[in-house]
Structure 1
Amino acid sequence: MAGPLAGVRVLEFAGSAPTAFVGTVLSGLGADVVRVDRAPGTAPGPDAPRPPENPLSRGRRSVALDLKSPEGVEAALELTGHADILVEGFRPGVADRLGIGPNAALARNPRLVYGRVSGWGQQGEWAGRAAHDLAVLALTGALDTDPATGDPVQPPSAYLSSFAGGANAHVQGLLAALHERERSGRGQVVDTALADGAALISTLIQQWREVPGNHTVTDAPHYGLYRAADGRHLVVAAIEPRLYQNLLDHLGLTGTEGLPDRSDPAAWPDLRALIAGRFATRDRDHWVKVFDAVDAGVAPVLTAAEAAEHHQLAAREAFVRIGGTLQPAPPSRFDRTPADIPGRAPLPGEHTAEVLAEWRGLS
């Protein structure tokens, strides 16, 4: 393995999307990630059919263990004894009942960074409840009423609390604990709740809404989604005056008599209609050509396949093919310790014998 986390061994217990996201991120940084899957009826053969490639399963090996058997628990603890990081996303109390909770794991390996990521955390009356993204966003204030419309904010299509708020925050906590271990020589438990992360990432918008008379930037006509003549879309994010002036210039709106003042929220409906009317006169790719070399905060709404071919993302090599499937590349680039392209997703239990033999041979 190559990358800044080369040599770091991670044990990921399968079972939740946030833990899978954490494993994918750490693998993309070069860590040796081993996922513990439920033991299947039989071990997969070399010709076993593979499911469609999934970015949240790539770049790791898989061992299959029966955690309801003493032998499976002992094997898990044996692997834990050689791990630097353990990540589990069980509901509170489950890992302890299985015998792989923090007390058992840290007794086996005092240097272990034990990560637990859950929806509501380990405390409180809701700790044991299911925590789907929409419920977490609602409870933490991220969907609070938009002052411009009086309606709750529409939730994003991405799993904002699960990935951006929860899993990414958990990765930060794990790496911070790993860094601290270099000074103390001791591991610790890192407890991250999706609700905590969702509350943090919505902080700015919450503070803005609390000021009487304020509007969110997403209410403004110079920050929104517009449909082109062919039914495809572009976004406008022309917040700065220079970008906004470039937008008006290239839409042919500069000098328009009676042009609504964007500093007056009362004029926003008329301004939005005017901008929308101009975009609706030509197809999306026409506007792509108009604005590609102009810094006006205008960008086309692309499919994943189109995104991979866009010159900016192609220059970053932002997408790679893994197992024949186009996937986002790991986002961080390192000039001195570049990481390898992640390998394809393993079959459950594909590497059981290999990993057990390899890790048992470690000192």
Structure 2
Amino acid sequence: MSGPLASLKVLDFSTLLPGPFASLMLADMGAEVLRIESPTRPDLLRVLPPHDRGTSASHAYLNRNKRSLALDLKQAEALEIVRTLVADYDIVLEQFRPGVMERLGLGYEALKAINPRLIYMSITGYGQTGPYKDRAGHDINYLALAGVASYTGRQDSGPLPLGVQVADVGGGSLHAVVGLLAAVIARQQSGVGQYLDVSMTDCSFSLNAMAGAGYLACGVEPEWESQVLNGGSFYDYYRTRDGRWMSVGSLEPAFMQALCAALGRPELAAHSLKPEQQRVLKQALQVEFEKRRFDELCELFAGLDACVEPVLTLSEAVAHPQLKARALVSQVPRGDGSSQAQIACPLKFSEGLPAPRHIGVAVGAHSDEVLAELGFSVQRIAELRRSKVVG
């Protein structure tokens, strides 16, 4: 089983989360992904705890199914190796600040001259243009500038530092994969590749799908706990008697009626969405939830279609029958005969996907193999290692 993207070959110069998550998706779907890594400046993700047998669990997951070629891009011979590879690759994915690849002689125009079919993507915080293009940033900054944080939080405590990197993954990675595959389809018609400029701030701004639409069309500026879906209604989380939490999303009348009946307060279902009535409703629901333990509420709502679900820990989520039925945990070979549990590819294809091949590997684990495929002799590879062109 080769996967739907088995025909694609990707050179991946990215590090940390956005680019690697994008190339992970491509690799899981069968693409051949070759990471180009520095032998002297390792990806910081490699040292991020926790570690499993000395390897960062995050790195092992985000870089599974990928090969690694360690090259010192400050040396001319290393750049020549990249140019040789480009002739046979479909996609270049890079995540440096604007201008870095151009200064190395590996920008889009230079590589397009070698391979006109090349699809070249740059993922950055702010894009290749604009006054912030050279500015440093992280996920929290992109969400702040995109307006997302201005209405995602609580009135008494402000914006929430989200546990999931929404700008990096939801903004950068997922938009990147969509753009790359669209460019592949376009190339099938035109025969030529193109350059894609992905800004995590731009993509985060596009995630303001409902609040942003309301502001631009109607001038309604969203604030914390002011809308139906951001804490301004009963649609929220509720603390249980023993300090756990339940999620309540019973928006439709039938679900609201089921919720209130289960709590023994059917009259609460008559409340409208007017702000003053919603405040009263939320207070009443909180009182009812705090009367019961978490396990009691789980049992109470287990058989009801009321859009009420428990807030699970990761260990509980892994063991949940729905996630288990969907096979969302996969055992991935470490390379020594053992395996590591990882989050599986969530996409379900009727033809299936190839089994995971290996976790993320050491820097340059495939350097000799890749160079041999390019026709380098054992002696020449040894020379390149001695001169530290290759790691």
TM-score clears 0.5: yes
Per the TM alignment, residue 260 of structure 1 is displaced from its structure 2 partner at its CA by 7.2
Shift of the 300–150 alpha-carbon distance from structure 1 to 2, 3 Å rule, reads closer
1:173-225 CA deviation, whole Å, 9 max, x = no partner?
A: 11011111111111111111111101111131223354389724222443111
Aligned to 2:44: none
Aligned to 1:303: 313
Distance in 1 between residues matched to 2:239 and 2:55, nearest whole Å: 36
Shift of the 325–312 alpha-carbon distance from structure 1 to 2, 3 Å rule, reads same
CA contact (8 A) 2:146 2:204 kept: yes
CA contact (8 A) 2:239 2:286 kept: yes
The more displaced of 116-125 and 11-20 is 11-20
Aligned to 1:180: 186
1:190 counterpart SS class: strand
Shift of the 342–138 alpha-carbon distance from structure 1 to 2, 3 Å rule, reads farther
CA contact (8 A) 1:28 1:342 kept: no
Q: What is the aligned counterpart of 1:233 among 245, 248, 269?
A: 245
Distance in 2 between residues matched to 1:150 and 1:285, nearest whole Å: 29
Distance in 1 between residues matched to 2:187 and 2:5, nearest whole Å: 15
Equivalent residues in 2 for 1:112-261, closer than 5 Å: 112-145=118-151, 149=155, 153-208=159-214, 210-211=219-220, 215-255=227-267, 261=271
Distance in 2 between residues matched to 1:112 and 1:85, nearest whole Å: 6
Distance in 2 between residues matched to 1:148 and 1:346, nearest whole Å: 42
Gaps of 5+ in 1: 42-48
CA contact (8 A) 1:53 1:344 kept: no
Per the TM alignment, residue 148 of structure 1 is displaced from its structure 2 partner at its CA by 9.1
1:220-260 CA deviation, whole Å, 9 max, x = no partner?
A: 4431111112222111111111111111111111146xx77
The more displaced of 267-276 and 213-222 is 213-222
Distance in 2 between residues matched to 1:16 and 1:346, nearest whole Å: 15
Distance in 2 between residues matched to 1:148 and 1:181, nearest whole Å: 46
2:355 counterpart SS class: coil
Aligned to 1:58: 64
Higher RCO, 1 vs 2 (CA within 8 Å, ≥6 residues apart): 1
The more displaced of 93-102 and 261-270 is 261-270
Per the TM alignment, residue 346 of structure 1 is displaced from its structure 2 partner at its CA by 0.8
CA contact (8 A) 2:12 2:94 kept: yes
One-letter code aligned to 2:87: G
Aligned to 2:347: 332
2:106 counterpart SS class: coil
The more displaced of 297-306 and 60-69 is 297-306
Report the TM-score, using the length of structure 1 for normalisation. 0.89
Report the TM-score, using the length of structure 2 for normalisation. 0.83
One-letter code aligned to 2:198: T
Distance in 1 between residues matched to 2:108 and 2:179, nearest whole Å: 16
Identity across the alignment (%): 34
- Paired positions, count: 353
